Structure 1
Amino acid sequence: MTTTLDLPPDTSDLPVLLDWLAALRADAPVWPDRYGMYHVTRHADVAEALHDVATFSSDFSAVMPGSERMTKGMLTRIDPPEHRALRHLVSASFTPKRVAGLEPRIRELTREMLPSGPGGFDLVEALAFPLPVTVIAEMLGLPAADRGRFRAWADGLFSLQADDPKEAMNDPSVRDAMGEITGYLGDWCRTRRADPADDLISALVTTEVEGRRLDDEEAANFSMLLLFAGHITTTLLLGNAVRVIDEHPGTWDALRTDPSSITATVEEVLRLRPPFPLTARATTRDVEISGITVPARSVVMTWLLSANHDPDAHPDPERFDPTRPGIGGGAQMAFGHGIHFCLGAPLARLEARVALEEMTARYAALTVGEGEQRPYTGRVLGTRALPVVAT
């Protein structure tokens, strides 16, 4: 592929990024950047890499020195068999039945948070942030009153960018940001260890995993993952959904007429604009991907966004079509694939569906208004603010 780039375009410029990914899929589906990280863009290759955990490891200690302590107990950075045991520890809280049981509370919160009448407001400030962060804070056993602190941490953490991503864990700003968060959560872990309650943090510190209990550091890291993944995904998804709907006239009216179509619309938004457009793995051996040999101990960036826009998986992929077949299942990469498939995917889908049901029932129209959206940069896809006008 002929290109002057030696790094990917930023996620804040989606059209440029999508054009770049399309060019990679066609001409260089496995592409090394200036840091020697390999970007994988075709759907079939992304699926295989995420499925083959023996070759594509989630443990980066061999390729990112200094990462061990900061990712200790982090579910997304652990391989089997420890991954299986830790995922089992919290999976009971995210079963379809348990998640479905949260719908009345999610609906209650949505109705309380949405402005009652017509006018302009910031969707992220009013609903897309406070709704999921309140739900996950209640599940963890954290005070909802601290949600301002959670937002500041999330904005800071997801805005940090190291010059060389492989050295990110050694970046002082990254260490400081994560240290403040895990310090707060570590205090809660110690509190719950001494006085357990009916919440996720209590489960993390009191349940035995393969004959032992998590220490406070592991439990704090795991809690941090649950806190941020448990709200930022829905925050981004709701903003992306309203923006996509606004870009396609008639969609809001169609959802008001047939609320049952909201579920499929959420899936199509996830396909078009997954909140997390890529995820990383570390190779444990030399491996061939689309005819290119990737050496052992290399960082591989698997592009979920590109996989979801691959015409071999989704014909006419740039077209917004909630009725398209094969929109879910293994073809839907927004929440990953394989053993690291997002634990909170059912909760994010439920929150998005309920929010859109309540918004379309309350407002005859909802359009994106004037004002700064402040798109995230780096590894997430969405905006920190979304001015809207309801009528």
Structure 2
Amino acid sequence: MALQTHPAPPSMADGGHEMFAWLRAMREEHPVREDEYGVFHVYRHADVLAVSADPAVFSSDLSRLRPDSSALSEEILSVIDPPLHRKLRRLVSQAFTPRTVSELQPRIVELAGQLLDAVEGDEFDLVGDFAYPLPVIVIAELLGVPAEDRTLFRSWSDRMLSMQVDDPVDMQFGDDAGEDYERLVKEPLKEMHAYLQEHVDDRRANPGDDLISRLVAAEVEGERLTDRQIVEFGALLLMAGHVSTSLLLGNTVLCLEENPQVAAELRADVSLVPAVIEEVLRFRPPITLMARVTTQEVTVGGVTIPANRMVTPSLLSANHDERVFAEPGRFDLRRGNNQQVAFGHGIHYCLGGPLARLEGKIALEALLRRFSDIRITPGAELKFHRDGLFGARSLPVTVTRA
């Protein structure tokens, strides 16, 4: 059978509205779509949940596609399957507990205030001056690495996020990406791993009260994490943790800009902040897709997917599925539907989700206290991320101080 062709997905340049319409058409007409690279995209909420809840059939081990590739490691929590995943998650969870997250609240409040104190004038970049440094400093202090190194962290992040590869399989492995992949992905990864390894070595000799020390000491049934596993988790937390919160904050301001009546309600009743954060996560989730590999032939949404094919469930599309969310294109503070999947589903549900929610809540409350009005600067050209991320790279805002 000849491969069906479909209109290419639009860019996010308009804040995602063209994409929302395109995804609606996909959910209706092609709920499971094979693209020109042989990757299967899954768009409906129920199918996204089904894929993410079945690791035996939809594996997170992307090295199945390229067994000879060294780009991915079984040490990375996000790309392994049970039973190893279960063991690693138990060990990591022993150190990264709900109590660990809740105890960060006073420090996050303090940092948010300090960052806003440093803002001069009535115009600034919400991402560069606030939404990026806040979670990076929090995670650096949590891990026990110098927060002053955040310019180094950003250089790694910016280089890796600038990599653009059309084929999702090549994007994972760097095939045919040549010098760009080496320079933009492999080099910063090596630098980050070497940096974190130095801190792991130090904590083994001089344990402290930070997360790296707790990861070094974590033990379940006589087993401990290896250096590589600690380094990989630290790298995952440093990268994914700051990206998620940074994009969440930018997307919150964008949603409030588009919905002035919601902004007015929020200012009149700040207890609505958690509901706003939850609806932003649904409407504009920071991470838009997952990646899985089929271990056997399987049928999803009436489409047969062969074994050893990449499957990318769309978190963004699932969060806009009319079958689950009434009027999904409307930003609704009182939706009361907690079935959004911004932080994933199943065994790989994001460990950092509670921290991102807490940071988002505190940051939004700080912005509301400090400024009586926040608007995206008129005429500002917003450049959005691509390849699985939803959010502006920078967000110039004009504010009125309270």
Tell me, yes or no, whether TM beats 0.5: yes
Q: Which residue of 1 is the match for residue 34 of structure 2?
A: 32
Q: Distance in 1 between matches of 2:31 and 2:6?
A: 17
Deviations 1:322-345 (A, max 9, x none): 10121x2xx111110111111011
Q: Which residue of 1 is the match for residue 387 of structure 2?
A: 378
Q: Which residue of 2 is the match for residue 169 of structure 1?
A: 173
Q: Which residue of 2 is the match for residue 82 of structure 1?
A: 84
**Residue in structure 2 matching 1:322, options 333, 342, 356:** 333
Cα 1:21–1:164 shift into 2, 3 Å = same
CA contact (8 A) 2:289 2:314 kept: yes
3-state SS of 1:301 partner: strand
Q: Which residue of 1 is the match for residue 20 of structure 2?
A: 18
Q: Which residue of 1 is the match for residue 311 of structure 2?
A: 300
The residue identity in structure 2 corresponding to 1:78 is I
More divergent stretch after superposition (244-253 vs 24-33):
244-253
Using the TM superposition, give the Cα deviation of residue 176 of structure 1 relative to its aligned residue in structure 2, in angstroms: 2.5
Determine if the alignment matches structure 1 residue 55 to structure 2 residue 57.
yes
Q: Which residue of 2 is the match for residue 388 of structure 1?
A: 397
Stretches of structure 1 lacking an aligned partner (at least 5 in a row): none
Q: Distance in 2 between matches of 1:239 and 1:298?
A: 34
CA contact (8 A) 2:289 2:388 kept: yes
Determine if the alignment matches structure 1 residue 266 to structure 2 residue 270.
no
3-state SS of 2:299 partner: strand
Q: Distance in 2 between matches of 1:9 and 1:64?
A: 29
Cα 1:207–1:69 shift into 2, 3 Å = farther
Q: Which residue of 2 is the match for residue 123 of structure 1?
A: 126
CA contact (8 A) 1:70 1:221 kept: no
Using the TM superposition, give the Cα deviation of residue 240 of structure 1 relative to its aligned residue in structure 2, in angstroms: 0.2
The residue identity in structure 1 corresponding to 2:249 is L
Cα 1:233–1:57 shift into 2, 3 Å = same
Q: Which residue of 2 is the match for residue 344 of structure 1?
A: 352
CA contact (8 A) 1:234 1:351 kept: yes
Cα 1:345–1:372 shift into 2, 3 Å = same
Using the TM superposition, give the Cα deviation of residue 134 of structure 1 relative to its aligned residue in structure 2, in angstroms: 0.6
3-state SS of 1:254 partner: helix
The residue identity in structure 1 corresponding to 2:392 is T
More divergent stretch after superposition (157-166 vs 210-219):
210-219
CA contact (8 A) 2:126 2:394 kept: yes
CA contact (8 A) 1:236 1:383 kept: yes
Q: Which residue of 2 is the match for residue 286 of structure 1?
A: 297
Cα 1:276–1:97 shift into 2, 3 Å = same
Determine if the alignment matches structure 1 residue 219 to structure 2 residue 222.
no
**Residue in structure 1 matching 2:151, options 142, 148, 151:** 148
More divergent stretch after superposition (56-65 vs 12-21):
12-21
TM-score of the superposition, structure 2-length normalised? 0.91
Using the TM superposition, give the Cα deviation of residue 211 of structure 1 relative to its aligned residue in structure 2, in angstroms: 4.2
CA contact (8 A) 1:40 1:301 kept: yes
3-state SS of 1:255 partner: helix
Cα 1:380–1:214 shift into 2, 3 Å = same
CA contact (8 A) 1:137 1:144 kept: yes
TM-score of the superposition, structure 1-length normalised? 0.93
CA contact (8 A) 1:237 1:275 kept: yes
Q: Distance in 2 between matches of 1:322 and 1:92?
A: 35
CA contact (8 A) 1:118 1:389 kept: no
Using the TM superposition, give the Cα deviation of residue 93 of structure 1 relative to its aligned residue in structure 2, in angstroms: 4.6
Determine if the alignment matches structure 1 residue 360 to structure 2 residue 362.
no
Using the TM superposition, give the Cα deviation of residue 378 of structure 1 relative to its aligned residue in structure 2, in angstroms: 1.4
Q: Distance in 1 between matches of 2:278 and 2:166?
A: 34
How many residues were matched structurally?
A: 387
Determine if the alignment matches structure 1 residue 194 to structure 2 residue 215.
no
Cα 1:78–1:4 shift into 2, 3 Å = closer
Q: Distance in 2 between matches of 1:240 and 1:218?
A: 32
CA contact (8 A) 2:200 2:227 kept: yes
The residue identity in structure 1 corresponding to 2:279 is E
More divergent stretch after superposition (7-16 vs 363-372):
7-16
Percentage identity across paired residues of the two chains: 47
Q: Which residue of 2 is the match for residue 136 of structure 1?
A: 139
The residue identity in structure 1 corresponding to 2:257 is D
The residue identity in structure 1 corresponding to 2:267 is R
Using the TM superposition, give the Cα deviation of residue 159 of structure 1 relative to its aligned residue in structure 2, in angstroms: 2.2
Using the TM superposition, give the Cα deviation of residue 213 of structure 1 relative to its aligned residue in structure 2, in angstroms: 3.5
Q: Distance in 2 between matches of 1:251 and 1:303?
A: 27
Q: Distance in 1 between matches of 2:30 and 2:36?
A: 15
3-state SS of 1:279 partner: coil
CA contact (8 A) 2:113 2:366 kept: yes
More divergent stretch after superposition (297-306 vs 216-225):
216-225
Stretches of structure 2 lacking an aligned partner (at least 5 in a row): none
3-state SS of 2:372 partner: coil
CA contact (8 A) 2:91 2:225 kept: no
CA contact (8 A) 1:90 1:200 kept: no
Q: Distance in 2 between matches of 1:18 and 1:250?
A: 22
Q: Distance in 2 between matches of 1:260 and 1:118?
A: 29
CA contact (8 A) 2:45 2:321 kept: yes
Using the TM superposition, give the Cα deviation of residue 11 of structure 1 relative to its aligned residue in structure 2, in angstroms: 4.3
Deviations 1:300-335 (A, max 9, x none): 000000000000010110001010121x2xx11111
